């Protein structure tokens, strides 16, 4: 048991090391980067929406699912909310946005669980669907922000942007949820062996639907921040959002096959991507080179992960029954 614990820490620490390396590298070449206002107001603010959605995405991927429609749920929620705000005011808009997130997540969950269609196919279809609806309803033009969203996107609390506070709060909630609750253990269990979990008397379907709904809700929350930050939104703003979220989760060492992963990893992954995003920009590195750097970092992390994973897989096969215990140890 002790050995396993050491191993877990090693992987996350490795990731942490990568982050520190990148961070120091950038800070050394570009002193501007280190200013607290840049770190808080630019680096963190720019990643918040993606980082936020990466949290429930980690849960979904750990239980062996995937959601390719998150960016589009976010845009659809913002679109409907923004339109509602024009005629009914801010309060109704908030309700509409949250409801949209909830319904979108519910649709994903229901189709995956009840029709037994693979999560990838389902969310690919809903990706088109949500994108198409927001494009059709907005007629391709911009949707403007409303009071509540503006507050969420632009105000600061004790000198720190309010969305950073929200993110930190969510990080705490999700980390505890995954590591310390039975629900978290059930998620690992589903990811490792769904049938076995079902036979163990756990209502897998219900948990799955709940996770997709949570994901939808977080997307709705992110949509307030996004809308507030930019004052307006367009249907294509979610381009690449989905893949970015998945990249972060995978970078954090969560296995796309399910059953393995941790919230800490995702958080470090978020920090790595945030540092790269804002750091390379401040160094005046052209966007194309930035893309290559992102890709390389992902590959490095993946290879590191693959090396440890070859052993983790063996463990996985043996430990199906002991899965909850293994989780508890981290």
Partner 1 sequence: MKKKLLQKIIAAAMVCILMVAAVAGCSKTETTPQGEQGGKETTGGKSDGKLVIAMLPKFKGENYFDACKVGAQEAADELGITLLYDGPPQDQATNQKQVDILEGWIAQKVDAIIVSPNDPTAIAPTLKKAQEAGIKVITFDADAQKDARDLFVNQITADAAGKGLLEAAARELKAKGYGADKKANIALVSGSGTDANQTAWEAAIEKYLATDEYNFMVIKNRETDVYYPGTDETKVNAECATLISRMGPGEDQIQAAIGLSSMATPALGAQYQSASQKPDANAITLTGLATPNALKTYIKDEENPMNVGMLWNCMDLGYLAVQVAYQLKNGDITTESTSINAGRLGTKEIVDRECVLGDALIFDKTNVDNFNY
Partner 2 sequence: MVQEKKRTASFLTKEFYLAIFLLAVLIFLWIFAKGFYTINNIMSILNTYSYTLIAAIGMNMIIITSNIDVSTGALVSVVCLASAAIGKLGLPFPVLLPAAMVMGIILSTINGLFITKTKIPAIVATLATTQIFQGVLPLTTEGSIYDLPATFTWLAFEAKLFGIVPASVLMCLIITVIALFFMKYSRFSKKLYAIGNNQHSARLAGINVEKTIVITYAIAGALFGVTAIIIATAGQRVTTTMGSGLEMTLIASVILGGTSTAGGSGKVIGTVIGALILCIVSPAINYLGISPNWSDAIKGAIIMISVVVGAFQQVKKKRVIQIPKEVLNNGK
Of residues 116, 159, 288, 318, which one binds partner 1 by CB under 8 A? 288
Q: For residue 9, state whether it binds partner 2 (rule: CB under 8 A).
A: no
Q: Considering only residues 117 through 146, tell me which ones interact with partner 2, judged by CB under 8 A.
A: 117-118, 120-122, 124-133, 135-136, 138-140
Q: Is 151 in the site for partner 1 (CB under 8 A)?
A: no
- The answer to whether 257 contacts partner 2 (rule: CB under 8 A) is yes
The answer to whether 157 contacts partner 2 (rule: CB under 8 A) is no
Q: Which of 68, 58, 70 is nearest to 253 (CA)?
A: 58
By the rule CB under 8 A, 231 interacts with partner 1? yes
If binding is defined by CB under 8 A, does position 285 make contact with partner 2? no
Q: Tokens representing 213?
A: 């709904």
125, 170, 304, 330: residue in contact with partner 1 (rule CB under 8 A): 304
The contact set with partner 1 (CB under 8 A) reads 3, 7, 10, 14, 17-18, 21-22, 25, 29-33, 35, 38, 42, 46, 140-142, 144, 154, 229-234, 236-237, 239-240, 277-278, 280-289, 291-293, 296-297, 300, 303-304, 307-308, 311
The contact set with partner 2 (CB under 8 A) reads 66, 111, 115-118, 120-122, 124-133, 135-136, 138-140, 243, 246-247, 250, 255-257, 286, 288-296, 298-299, 302-303, 305-306, 309-310
């Amino acid at each position: 048991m002790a050995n396993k614990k050491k191993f877990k820490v090693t992987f996350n620490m490795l990731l942490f090391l990568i982050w520190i390396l990148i961070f120091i590298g950038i800070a050394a070449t570009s002193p501007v980067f280190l200013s607290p206002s840049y770190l808080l107001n630019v680096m963190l603010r720019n990643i918040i929406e993606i980082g936020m959605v990466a949290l429930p995405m980690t849960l979904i991927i750990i239980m062996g699912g995937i959601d390719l429609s998150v960016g589009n749920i976010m845009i659809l929620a913002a679109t409907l909310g923004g339109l509602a705000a024009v005629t009914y005011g801010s309060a109704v808009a908030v309700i509409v946005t949250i409801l949209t997130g909830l319904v979108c997540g519910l649709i994903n969950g229901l189709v995956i669980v009840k029709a037994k269609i693979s999560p990838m196919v389902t969310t690919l279809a809903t990706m088109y669907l949500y994108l198409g609806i927001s494009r059709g309803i907005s007629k391709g033009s911009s949707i403007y922000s409303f009071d509540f969203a503006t507050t969420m996107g632009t105000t600061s609390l004790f000198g720190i942007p309010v969305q950073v506070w929200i993110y930190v709060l969510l990080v705490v909630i999700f980390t505890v949820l995954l590591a310390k609750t039975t629900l978290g253990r059930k998620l690992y269990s589903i990811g490792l062996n769904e049938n076995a979990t079902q036979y163990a008397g756990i209502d897998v379907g219900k948990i799955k639907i709940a996770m997709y709904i949570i994901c939808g809700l977080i997307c709705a929350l992110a949509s307030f921040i996004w809308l507030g930050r930019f004052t307006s939104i367009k249907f294509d703003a979610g381009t690449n959002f989905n893949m970015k979220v998945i990249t972060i989760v995978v970078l954090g060492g969560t296995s796309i096959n399910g059953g393995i992963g941790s919230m800490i990893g995702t958080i470090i992954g978020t920090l790595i991507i945030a540092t790269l995003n804002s750091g390379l920009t401040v160094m005046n590195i052209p966007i194309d080179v930035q893309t290559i750097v992102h890709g390389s970092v992902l590959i490095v992390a993946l290879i590191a992960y693959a090396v440890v994973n070859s052993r983790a897989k063996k463990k996985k096969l043996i430990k199906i029954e002991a899965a909850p215990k293994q989780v508890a140890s981290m």
